[in-house]
């Protein structure tokens, strides 16, 4: 008999959260803390979604998506999680750029960028100031007509080097391009510029463990290996979910699954207004990623001046489409020094990330896929040589992941690393108007993605769910329709 991962589960909950990414976990935590009965269902054997890690023999622990997030994470973790989690958030001090246009190291905040732009790039201080002010003044409900490319052209006409400095990290952070609405760039960029880039001391594994403990202390029923197949409706409102052959009743569902999977797989278009379905079909997904994970042999050390984050490129010019090409010229390196995990074994690791198209990997035969993966590893090691000489001899372990890997583990349509393009936000927010009790929380609209975006979006949606449940209770409808 296979193990029953739903053993002891109740017949009914106030809220069922589908998916334990950062948005799903945060919604579950807030609603559990508010006193609702909450069931959190995750299809994988680990919590965290893309906020994940894996271990390899020899004491190596690789972080997949812990490259950096804005300072706002401290406040959000303190309020929506716990003071202990917030206290482990520490700044990254050395953000490095190395490309044919410029090489520099920065603390990646407004003061240092103002200094660089005026002294090294010779931009008028007044233009720098008005650019920063314009970016900081942006709100997600603002006019979307202006694109990021136009924003740069307005403040720094013809300056491809300036655009590269301002844009390259954000392309890596959320997959946005020069053609996306300027607000998707401005909001994320300003979040980082307010105080720089931060990381979580102890690694992703420690964060997720602490979150799991917090969920349990707030009485959230957490279940892994539970792949939700269907959300069932009754008279146009959420009634139950089908999971591992069981039907569990609920008054509200928060889906943290990919937006398109939520609409087309969990709900099914037959249950929805055709106009909404068309709108959902138009939502474009963001790109995916490839990564190469490298662990140095025990005792091999790297000077910390090498940087915490290094945006490297050999391309003469800066084009966002080139960043996605199979013919990789740009890589972002994250260095994990022993201090990343003060309680762990002394290890230095390096993760190289590139943005990638799912279609470039999805159609390969198994042999071609393996060969492409090997090629990705070899070309990456060649590129790393510049920063860590004799890298091949110093390595204890190396392996690669591709868009197919991301798809496999998170069930994200097309392995999307950063959710959907901007239009996804309206569809995600519009879902409860279609089906009463049905919500989506997860990376959408570029701004609501990344660790901080996902956590904050989880809060926004939990607030909607709380309002709905409380309104239903005061109007006398305290139980789910049965």
Ligand X SMILES: Cc1cc2nc3c(=O)[nH]c(=O)nc-3n(C[C@H](O)[C@H](O)[C@H](O)COP(=O)(O)OP(=O)(O)OC[C@H]3O[C@@H](n4cnc5c(N)ncnc54)[C@H](O)[C@@H]3O)c2cc1C
Pairwise CA distance, residues 201 & 77, whole Å = 14
Q: Which of 61, 208, 431, 454 binds ligand X (CB under 6 A)?
A: 454
Q: Provide the token pair at 146.
A: 């202006």
339 binds other proteins (CB under 8 A): no
Pairwise CA distance, residues 411 & 258, whole Å = 8
Beta bridge partners of 350: 294, 335
Instruction: Report the nearest approach of other proteins to the CB of residue 448 (Å).
Output: 12
CB 451 within 8 A of CB 208: no
Pairwise CA distance, residues 287 & 416, whole Å = 5
Site for ligand X in 8-67 (CB under 6 A): 18-24, 41-44, 49-51, 64-65, 67
Instruction: Report the nearest approach of ligand X to the CB of residue 296 (Å).
Output: 21
Pairwise CA distance, residues 450 & 51, whole Å = 9
First to last CA, the chain: 31
Q: Which is nearer to ligand X, 117 or 309 (CB)?
A: 309
403 binds ligand X (CB under 6 A): no
Pairwise CA distance, residues 220 & 236, whole Å = 27
Beta bridge partners of 463: none
Instruction: Report the nearest approach of ligand X to the CB of residue 367 (Å).
Output: 25
- Decide: residue 32, CB within 10 A, 0-12 exposed, 13-18 middle, 19+ buried: buried
Pairwise CA distance, residues 203 & 6, whole Å = 29
CA angle 202, 254, 413 (to 5 degrees): 75
Whole-Å CA distances, 414 to 65, 258, 287, 385: 18, 10, 8, 32
Q: Which of 474, 475, 476, 482 binds other proteins (CB under 8 A)?
A: 474
Contact track, ligand X, 158-187, x by CB under 6 A:
------------------------------
CB 144 within 8 A of CB 181: yes
456 binds other proteins (CB under 8 A): yes
Q: Which is nearer to ligand X, 330 or 353 (CB)?
A: 353
- Kindly determine how many residues on this chain lie close enough to bind other proteins according to the rule CB under 8 A: 15
219 binds other proteins (CB under 8 A): no
Site for ligand X in 408-437 (CB under 6 A): 410-412, 417-419
Given other proteins, ligand X, none, residue 480, with its beta carbon under 5 to 8 Å by kind, binds none
CA nearest to 458, candidates 12, 20, 142: 20
Contact track, other proteins, 78-117, x by CB under 8 A:
-x--------------------------------------
**Cβ atoms within 10 Å of 246's Cβ, excluding its own:** 13
Instruction: Report the nearest approach of other proteins to the CB of residue 452 (Å).
Output: 10
426 binds other proteins (CB under 8 A): no
Only one of the segments 91-99, 202-210, 271-279, 449-457 lies at the binding site for ligand X (rule: CB under 6 A); that segment is: 449-457
72 binds other proteins (CB under 8 A): yes
Q: Which of 69, 156, 336, 439 binds ligand X (CB under 6 A)?
A: 69
Only one of the segments 96-104, 163-171, 297-305, 445-453 lies at the binding site for ligand X (rule: CB under 6 A); that segment is: 445-453
**Cβ atoms within 10 Å of 20's Cβ, excluding its own:** 28
475 binds other proteins (CB under 8 A): no
348 binds ligand X (CB under 6 A): no
Instruction: Report the nearest approach of ligand X to the CB of residue 167 (Å).
Output: 16
Interacting residues toward other proteins by CB under 8 A: 34, 72, 75-76, 79, 139, 456, 459-460, 463, 466-467, 470-471, 474
């Amino acid at each position: 008999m296979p193990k029953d991962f739903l053993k002891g589960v109740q017949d009914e909950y106030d809220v069922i959260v589908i998916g334990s990414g950062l948005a799903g976990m945060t919604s579950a935590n807030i609603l559990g803390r508010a006193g609702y009965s909450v069931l959190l269902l995750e299809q994988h054997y680990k919590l965290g979604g893309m906020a994940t890690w894996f271990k390899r023999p020899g004491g190596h622990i690789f972080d997949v998506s812990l490259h950096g997030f804005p300072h706002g994470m401290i406040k959000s973790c303190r309020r929506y999680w716990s003071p202990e989690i917030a206290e482990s958030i520490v700044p990254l001090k050395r953000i490095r750029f190395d490309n044919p246009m410029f090489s520099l190291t920065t603390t990646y905040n407004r003061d240092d960028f103002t200094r660089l732009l005026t002294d090294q790039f010779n931009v008028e201080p007044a233009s720098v100031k008005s650019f920063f002010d314009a970016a900081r003044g942006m709100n997600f409900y603002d006019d979307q007509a202006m694109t990021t490319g136009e924003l740069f052209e307005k403040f720094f006409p013809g300056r491809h080097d300036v655009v590269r400095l301002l844009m390259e990290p954000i392309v890596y952070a959320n997959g946005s391009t020069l053609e996306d609405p300027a607000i998707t760039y401005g909001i994320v960029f300003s979040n980082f510029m307010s105080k720089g880039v931060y990381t979580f001391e102890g690694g992703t594994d420690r964060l997720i463990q602490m979150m799991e403990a917090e969920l349990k202390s707030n009485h959230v029923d957490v279940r892994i290996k539970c792949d939700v197949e269907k959300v069932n409706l009754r008279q146009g409102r959420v009634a139950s979910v089908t999971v591992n052959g069981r039907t569990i009743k609920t008054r509200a569902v928060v889906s943290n699954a990919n937006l398109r999977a939520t609409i087309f797989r969990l709900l099914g278009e037959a249950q929805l207004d055709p106009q909404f379905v068309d709108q959902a079909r138009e939502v474009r997904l963001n790109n995916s990623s490839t990564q190469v994970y490298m662990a140095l042999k025990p005792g091999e050390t790297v000077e910390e001046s090498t940087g915490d984050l290094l945006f490297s490129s050999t391309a003469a010019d800066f084009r966002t489409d080139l960043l996605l090409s199979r013919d990789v010229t740009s890589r972002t390196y994250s260095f994990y020094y022993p201090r990343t995990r003060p309680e762990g074994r002394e290890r230095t690791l390096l993760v190289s990330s590139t943005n990638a198209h799912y279609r470039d990997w999805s159609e390969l035969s198994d042999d071609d896929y393996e060969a492409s993966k090997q090629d990705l590893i070899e070309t990456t090691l060649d590129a790393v040589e510049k920063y860590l000489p004799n890298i091949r001899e110093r390595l204890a372990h190396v392996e690669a992941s591709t868009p197919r890997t991301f798809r496999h583990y998170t069930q994200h349509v097309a392995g999307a690393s950063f959710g959907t393009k901007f239009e996804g936000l309206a569809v995600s927010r519009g879902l409860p108007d279609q089906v009463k009790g049905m919500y989506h929380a997860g990376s959408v609209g570029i701004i609501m993605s990344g660790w901080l975006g996902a956590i904050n979006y989880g809060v926004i949606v939990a607030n909607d769910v709380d309002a709905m449940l409380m309104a239903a209770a005061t109007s006398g409808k305290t139980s789910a329709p049965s």
